[in-house]
Structure formats: C-alpha cells, structure tokens
Chains A and B, each alone.
Chain A
Amino acid sequence: MTVAEIASILDAKIITGQDRAHHKIEVAFASDLMSDVLTLKDDNVLLITGLANLQTLRTAEMSDIHCIVFARNKRITPEMQELAKENDIIVMECKYSVFKTSGLLYQAGISPIF
C-alpha cells in the first residue's frame, strides 16, 4: 500500500515527504514506548504513535523507520519537521486514535510485525 493510500484511508495530512507519497508500506507497529520501537529488527515499518516529540523522530532515524503516523490529533513542531526532512522520514498527522488508526490499516491489508 502506498503512503498516499494510507493518508486517504486515515484522512491524514502528509506533513513531510509529500514527494514520496508513492513509497510502499507493508507492515506497521503501534507504540508510544520508544524503547519497544528500538527492539524491532524489521525494516520499512510504518510507526503509528501518539508520542510527539523529538525523540520519536530520533528513534525512527536509528531504527531505519521511514514513515510515521502521529495519531490522536498530535501535532509535530517545526523542529520535528526539520529532523524528519533531514532524515527523509515521511510524517503524517491523523485525528483518529491509535486503536482506530491501527484497525483501519489492518482492515485495509497492512500486516502486523508480530
């Protein structure tokens, strides 16, 4: 599924990486605990989170995560946008809860890691 399709399903706004909306995503992981995200071995994972701070972006950078959906109507700051752009991370903002976001994407065919 492409990032553009994900944004459409979630009624989400693509904040950074609009030029890579064709990027394909197959698996996702939802967590507000960055320590959990850092244990993932898979690449090309979509991160669904309600934790919006610089460390979310740093965690994505270290874990080779290239796409993040910020759920629960969390907004990203200009500093976070800057860090996302610097590391080619696609960031979306979505109004739905983490549960609804995950449910909609699961229904649409995105797989869990485990």
Chain B
Amino acid sequence: MHFEYQIEGGNFTRAGFASSEIKKMLKQLNVDLGIIKRTVVATYEAEVNVVAHAYSGTIYVDVDEKGIVIKLVDEGPGIPDIEQAMKEGYSTASSKVREMGFGAGMGLPNMKKNADELNITSEVEKGTTVEIRMGFG
C-alpha cells in the first residue's frame, strides 16, 4: 500500500498533521502498537525537522507484509555535515522552533533510536531525504 502526504515548511500549526494521519492509517491496518509508536515518533521528529528547516516536503509511505518504509523528501537548505547533525545536542534550530519545545539537538538521535533503520542523504541548497524503515519480523 502506498500513501503520500504534503508538508509545508514553516507552518507550525500543521506540523504533526501528516504523522497523525500515518498513525491513524497504521492503526486501521492493525499494526502492532509498539511498532506504531516507534514509527510515528520517528516520523513526527522528521516532519518537525522539515517544517523547521525546509521550504516544503513530501512523505511517501509504503506498507507491505514485511514492514513499513517512510521516506521524507524535502526541498530546503540541506545538511552540510550529517555526522555532526546526528550528534546529541547539536542544533541549528531557530528560536521559533525552540518555543515549540524542540531544537535541543535530540531529534535525529531519537529518530535513530526508534527506527529499525534510518538513512539520511542530503545535498546542500537542494534538500534532504530521510528514510525510516520498520520491520514486522
């Protein structure tokens, strides 16, 4: 099954809307509740990142009998140094993002903890792609 959701950069009112829709959809598919929680926490962190840093983005969700693959593709400034961005405590978030309760440099490490597999690729001044893979096995 394939689903797509749009993310609007800078729109904090809508941040989390797509992750919420994904959570509802996974519940309808009777996916294990523990897997749903880990999936949506990782996806929500990634969605907030797109809203916080990028201009726009799309979430592609594929679910089959083996697991879930969630790909967040954004158009934005990109990440110059992914290794540095993965470090706990490193953040380039604006004060607006911090007011929302984020921007402590915990998002990417937390995504890694929750996802079975996390792949990040980025091109400066083009955008970033985050792939979250979850297995049912």
Q: Does B associate with A? A: yes
Chain A: residues with CB nearer than 8 A to chain B? Answer: 32-39, 51, 53-56, 58-59, 61-64, 79, 87
Q: Which of B32-66 contact A (CB under 8 A)?
A: 33, 37, 40-41, 44-45, 48
| Cα(A32)–Cα(B44), bound, Å | 17
Chain B: residues with CB nearer than 8 A to chain A? Answer: 12-13, 15-16, 19-20, 23, 33, 37, 40-41, 44-45, 48, 99-104, 106-107, 110, 113
A34-B110 contact, Cβ under 8 Å, with A55-B48, A62-B23: no
By the criterion CB–CB under 8 Å, are B101 and A34 in contact? yes
By the criterion CB–CB under 8 Å, are B101 and A35 in contact? yes
By the criterion CB–CB under 8 Å, are B20 and A59 in contact? no
By the criterion CB–CB under 8 Å, are B19 and A35 in contact? no
Sampled A-B contacts (8; CB under 8 Å): A32-B101, A35-B103, A36-B106, A39-B113, A58-B20, A58-B44, A61-B20, A63-B37
A55-B106 contact, Cβ under 8 Å, with A38-B44, A61-B20, A63-B37: no
